[in-house]
C-alpha cells in the first residue's frame, strides 16, 4: 500500500526511519566523543563496554573487537588508550584467569550517564505512550531486525 503522492510504501518509510535513527544515534555518539575529548572509535568502544556491563554481559576484548569491527591489535591499542585515560579497567573475574573482562571505571560512569540520560528519558517517555502489547511487538520486531542484521553480517563479502 502506497501513500498518495509520496512514492513510498509503509515499509520504505519504516526503513527510512530506522536509517534516520541510526544516523542520529551515530551523531549523538560522536558528540559524546567530543564531550570526553576522545576519538569517535574510542568513544564507541566505551559505549559498548558500558552498555554490556549495564546489561549484565560485560565484554571481553575479543567480543569488543567484534562489536566495533576492529582487529585484535587495533582493539588492544584502543583499550590501552582508554585504560591510560582512566575510563576502563581490565579484570580477571572468572575461574580461568586468562579471560579478561572489560569494566568501565567509576570515573566515567557519571559522565556517561549524564550525557546519555536525557536520551534515555526521552525514549522511555516515548515508549510509555504505547500500550504494553504494542511495546512487546516493537521488542519482537527489533529482535528480528537484529537477527536479520546478524545473518547479513555473517555472510562473506567480496
Taken in order 140, 30, 69, 51, the sign of the CA dihedral is negative
Q: Give yes or no for a contact between 146 and 138, defined as CB atoms under 8 angstroms apart.
A: no
Q: What CATH code would you report for 10-154?
A: 1.10.10.10
Number of H helices, E strands in the chain: 6, 2
pLDDT of residue 3: 54
Query: What integer pLDDT is reported at residue 25 of this predicted model?
Result: 94
Low pLDDT (below 70) residues in the chain: 1-6
110 in Cβ contact with 99 (< 8 Å): no
Quote the pLDDT of residue 1: 53
State the pLDDT at residue 32: 94
CA angle 122, 51, 123 (to 5 degrees): 10
Quote the pLDDT of residue 158: 75
Domain spans, the chain = 10-154
pTM of full prediction above 0.75: yes
State the burial class of residue 6 (Cβ atoms within 10 Å of its Cβ: 0-12, 13-18, 19+): exposed
pLDDT of residue 7: 81
Q: Cα 137 from chain centroid?
A: 21
How is 48-91 classified by DSSP, letter by letter?
A: HHHHHHHTT-PPPHHHHHHHHT--HHHHHHHHHHHHHTTSEEEE
Amino acid at each position: 500500500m502506497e501513500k498518495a503522492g509520496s512514492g513510498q510504501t509503509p515499509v520504505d518509510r519504516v526503513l527510512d526511519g530506522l536509517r534516520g535513527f541510526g544516523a542520529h544515534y551515530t551523531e549523538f555518539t560522536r558528540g559524546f566523543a567530543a564531550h570526553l575529548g576522545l576519538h569517535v572509535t574510542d568513544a564507541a568502544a566505551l559505549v559498548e563496554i558500558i552498555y554490556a556491563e549495564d546489561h549484565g554481559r560485560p565484554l571481553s576484548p575479543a567480543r569488543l573487537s567484534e562489536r566495533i569491527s576492529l582487529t585484535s591489535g587495533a582493539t588492544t591499542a584502543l583499550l590501552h588508550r582508554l585504560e591510560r585515560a582512566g575510563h576502563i579497567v581490565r579484570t580477571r573475574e572468572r575461574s580461568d584467569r586468562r579471560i579478561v573482562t572489560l569494566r568501565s571505571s567509576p570515573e566515567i560512569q557519571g559522565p556517561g550517564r549524564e550525557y546519555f540520560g536525557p536520551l534515555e528519558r526521552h525514549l522511555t517517555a516515548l515508549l510509555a505512550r504505547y500500550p504494553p502489547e504494542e511495546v512487546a511487538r516493537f521488542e519482537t520486531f527489533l529482535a528480528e531486525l537484529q537477527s536479520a542484521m546478524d545473518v547479513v553480517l555473517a555472510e562473506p563479502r567480496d
